[in-house]
């Protein structure tokens, strides 16, 4: 099967055991610090030894800053879809758009029935899931009272709302042929687990999903493919994910390129911190790099996902510039954003090139890396400021985050990040921008402004460096460092959004390489 082109994401599948509640929360916070994308927990409400999944996810969301959270997967027979819609939307609002929904038709019917849930046949389970997806989406869509008939779920004038702050994705777990067809027809993603769907079975299952999508008038790329995985970092590699980290990288990259898996969720137990670190620091970056190399060589298409969907104002583009949400953390301003020039108006007859679209996507991906690294810096500074970590502990944490680099300090990590920004901007000013200017001189004022902002950002980086020196020698200087990082956040995020807004369309049109 082909690579569906979706952006890669990595996450963790947590055990909700009540006796290990503290360990579970610690692992969730660790995943957030390590820069993972997703945190999930299984949902078995009939299991007396487990925490309630929705309560757990709410606490996890409150204790983290960046990861998205979701049930893996919600037990539909014990989670009535109308109430589930309210719960998911509420969590999305309270977490500022960080909730997704993994959904399952149910199993272990004796246990479900013991909790006053329905006992359903396979056909009834499939029908109930289909109806539930419709109910969920109806209650997340603004409008008047909703009426829907159904055998298992119905709405008799229910008012939609509350409304999620982002487009929540419904990822369905399932393995049988009719369920896979339903996923292709109605779901946003497929969420299997490797113990139940080993790698050699994925291609055949994907074919059924793709056929279901085609029959419903959808594209195969409309359905994201996730994969709950389990393994160990010992072994020869003869078995799936029983090998050193470099073999994990090769095996997971192959699943992306051959079977379209783009979100890998590591299943861990309460003692899984070390494996989680290796997964985040060694495996995830390695898979991203290998897949990016192969996509560049093979010209793999990119799917219009929420991360890189075409903007409404120009549906022919294949990548969306990241908008500036207007949030500012510092009262200091280093430039006047109202004086930024804009490029020429979009020509409705312009021709866009696949390679140019990929160049724009690459620009966004580089910027996303900068955004992600900035969040890691901010998270570390926040922990030190709140007393959750002292400077020594922060240094130890950074050693773990930087791929086993020795003798790294708080200052060295941030200086490395600043150096990455500097190199990125230098390359743009000396190579990338001149090519664009030569291809379309009308973009000259925009390019001049971007170069000016690069220099101004470097001045902000100098402030961060100065604050770092004070903080490493005197931990009470953490407040000054926090102020400097706030200013860096404002200037860098504003600049990256401006650059994408002005350059993504020309890159696709001019085919700059």
Domain ranges of the chain: 9-298, 337-510
Give the pair of three-digit tokens for residue 441. Answer: 């001189």
**pLDDT tens figures, 71-117:** 999 999 999 999 999 999 999 999 999 999 999 999 899 999 999 99
Q: How far is CA 128 from CA 86, 200, 324, 327, 373, in A?
A: 18, 30, 40, 42, 42
Banded model confidence at residue 513, pLDDT cuts 50, 70, 90 = low
- 99 membership: H or E segment, kind and range: none
Spell out a b/e string for 380-416, using b for 16 or more CB atoms within 10 Å of the CB, else e: bbebbeeeebebeebbebbbbbeeeeeebbbbbbbbe
Task: List the 74-75 sheet strands across, edge first.
Answer: 68-71, 38-41, 9-14, 261-267, 224-229, 189-190, 170-172, 101-104, 74-75
Question: β-pairing, 155-158 with 146-148?
Answer: antiparallel
- Residue 439: the pLDDT is 85
Banded model confidence at residue 302, pLDDT cuts 50, 70, 90 = very low
- Residue 411: the pLDDT is 42
196, burial (CB in 10 Å: exposed 0-12, middle 13-18, buried 19+): exposed
What class does CATH assign to 9-298? Answer: alpha beta
Region 493-506: mean pLDDT is 91
More confident residue, 324 or 467: 324
Question: What whole-number distance in Å separates Cα of residue 413 and Cα of residue 399?
Answer: 9
Q: Which residues contact 156 (CB under 8 A, 6 or more apart)?
A: 147
**pLDDT tens figures, 265-298:** 999 999 999 999 999 999 999 999 999 888 876 5
119-123, 464-468, 477-481 — which is least confidently predicted?
464-468
Q: In this structure, which topology does domain 337-510 adopt according to CATH?
A: 1.20.120
Q: Are 8 and 287 in contact (CB under 8 A)?
A: yes
Question: What whole-number distance in Å separates Cα of residue 211 and Cα of residue 159?
Answer: 35
39-48, 266-275, 412-421 — which is least confidently predicted?
412-421
Rounded (5°) CA angle 369-372-374: 110
Region 476-494: mean pLDDT is 87
Report the SS3 class of residue 320. Answer: coil
Region 305-317: mean pLDDT is 44
Q: Are 48 and 77 in contact (CB under 8 A)?
A: no
Q: Are 477 and 320 in contact (CB under 8 A)?
A: no
Banded model confidence at residue 394, pLDDT cuts 50, 70, 90 = very low
Per the prediction, the chain carries an average pLDDT of 85
Q: Which of 290, 277, 303, 224 is nearest to 251 (CA)?
A: 290
Q: Which of 196, 200, 224, 198 is nearest to 210 (CA)?
A: 224
Question: What whole-number distance in Å separates Cα of residue 276 and Cα of residue 146?
Answer: 43
- Percentage of residues in the chain having pLDDT higher than 90: 61
- Residue 309: the pLDDT is 37
Banded model confidence at residue 395, pLDDT cuts 50, 70, 90 = very low
Question: What whole-number distance in Å separates Cα of residue 5 and Cα of residue 259?
Answer: 11
Q: Which of 296, 211, 373, 353 is nearest to 5 (CA)?
A: 296
Banded model confidence at residue 426, pLDDT cuts 50, 70, 90 = low
- Residue 371: the pLDDT is 79
More confident residue, 412 or 334: 334
pTM of full prediction above 0.85? no
130-139, 329-338, 460-469, 485-494 — which is least confidently predicted?
460-469
- Residue 463: the pLDDT is 83
Spell out a b/e string for 313-349, using b for 16 or more CB atoms within 10 Å of the CB, else e: eeeebbbbbbebeeebebeeebeeeeebeebeeeeee
| DSSP at 176 | S
């Amino acid at each position: 099967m082909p690579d569906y082109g979706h952006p890669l994401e990595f996450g963790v599948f947590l055990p909700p055991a009540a006796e290990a509640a503290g360990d579970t929360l610690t692992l969730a916070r660790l995943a957030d610090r390590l820069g993972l994308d997703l945190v999930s927990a299984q949902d078995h409400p009939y299991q007396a030894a487990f925490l309630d999944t929705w309560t757990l996810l709410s606490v996890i969301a409150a204790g983290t800053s960046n990861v998205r959270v979701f049930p893996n997967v919600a037990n539909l027979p014990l989670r009535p879809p109308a109430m589930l819609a309210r719960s998911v939307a509420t969590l999305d609002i309270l977490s500022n758009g960080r909730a997704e929904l993994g959904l399952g038709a149910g199993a272990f019917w004796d246990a479900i029935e013991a909790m006053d849930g329905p006992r359903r046949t396979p056909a009834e389970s499939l029908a109930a899931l289909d109806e539930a997806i419709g109910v969920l989406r109806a209650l997340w869509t603004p409008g008047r009272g909703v009426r829907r008939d159904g055998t298992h779920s119905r709405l008799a004038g229910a008012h939609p709302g509350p409304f999620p702050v982002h487009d929540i994705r419904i990822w369905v777990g399932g393995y049988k042929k009719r369920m896979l067809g339903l996923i292709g027809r109605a779901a946003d993603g497929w969420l299997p687990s490797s113990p139940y769907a080993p790698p050699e079975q994925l291609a055949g299952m994907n074919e059924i999903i793709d056929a279901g999508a085609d029959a419903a008038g959808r594209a195969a790329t409309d359905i994201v493919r996730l994969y709950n995985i389990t393994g160990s970092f010992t072994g020869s590699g003869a078995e799936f994910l029983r090998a050193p980290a470099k073999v994990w990288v090769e095996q997971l990259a192959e699943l992306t390129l051959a079977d379209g898996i783009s979100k890998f969720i590591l299943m861990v137990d309460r003692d899984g911190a070390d494996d989680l670190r290796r997964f985040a620091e060694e495996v995830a970056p390695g898979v991203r790099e290998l897949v990016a190399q192969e996509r560049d060589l093979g010209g793999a298409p990119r799917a219009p996902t929420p991360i890189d969907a075409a903007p409404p104002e120009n549906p022919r583009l294949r990548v969306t510039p990241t908008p500036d949400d207007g949030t500012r953390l510092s009262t200091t301003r280093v430039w006047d954003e109202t004086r930024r020039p804009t490029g020429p108006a979009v020509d409705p007859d312009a021709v866009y090139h696949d390679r140019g679209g990929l160049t724009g996507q690459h620009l966004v991906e580089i910027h996303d890396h900068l955004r992600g690294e900035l969040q890691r810096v901010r998270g570390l500074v926040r922990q030190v400021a709140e007393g959750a970590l002292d400077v020594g502990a922060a240094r130890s944490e950074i050693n773990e985050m930087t791929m086993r680099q020795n003798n790294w300090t708080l200052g060295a990590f941030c200086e490395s990040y600043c150096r990455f920004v500097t190199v990125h901007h230098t390359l743009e000013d000396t190579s990338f921008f001149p090519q664009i200017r030569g291809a379309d001189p009308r973009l000259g004022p925009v390019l001049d402004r971007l170069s000016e902002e690069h220099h101004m950002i470097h001045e902000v980086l100098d402030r961060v460096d100065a604050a770092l020196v004070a903080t490493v020698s005197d931990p009470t200087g953490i407040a000054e460092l926090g102020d400097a990082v706030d200013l860096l956040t404002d200037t860098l995020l504003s600049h990256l959004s401006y650059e994408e807004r002005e350059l993504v369309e020309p890159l696709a049109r001019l085919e700059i390489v």
